[in-house]
Structures are given as C-alpha cells and as structure tokens.
C-alpha cells in the first residue's frame, strides 16, 4: 500500500478486486465521496478504513 498523492478518481478506477490503496487522512471526505460515486457509476464496491495512528484512509475494492 503506497501512500498516494495522485488524483483520487483515476487511482480508484484502476483498482482491481482485492487491491488496496491509501491516501492521507486530509483527503478523507474526497476519497469517500469518490468511492461512493464510482461504486454507483461502475457497479463496484469499495470498503474504506481509517488508520488514525498512521493518519491514512485505506480503500479496498471488494467487488
């Protein structure tokens, strides 16, 4: 899981099932919004987890 400073949408779109990616916690709202939108548009499911100690949000594509 590499920490990503790239644009959120292209990174989430490129995820394969089972892949994970992390973003800085400062991008929390944007990451969750994009994951939700992309899930509806492309019929995908994402799971997000916040790691407060590492200050990151982790996104996993599950479907």
pLDDT in tens, 10-60: 999 999 999 999 999 999 999 999 999 999 999 999 999 999 999 999 999
Residues 6+ apart with CB under 8 A from 25: 50, 52, 55, 56, 57
Burial class (CB in 10 A: 0-12, 13-18, 19+), 10: exposed
6 confidence band (pLDDT: 50, 70, 90): confident
DSSP 8-state symbol, 60: E
Give the pLDDT score at 50. 98
């Amino acid at each position: 899981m590499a920490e990503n400073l790239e644009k959120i949408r292209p990174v989430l779109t490129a995820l394969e099932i089972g892949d994970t990616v992390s973003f800085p916690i400062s991008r929390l709202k944007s990451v969750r919004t994009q994951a939700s939108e992309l899930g509806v548009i492309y019929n995908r499911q994402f799971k997000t987890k916040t790691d407060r100690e590492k200050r990151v949000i982790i996104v996993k594509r599950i479907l």
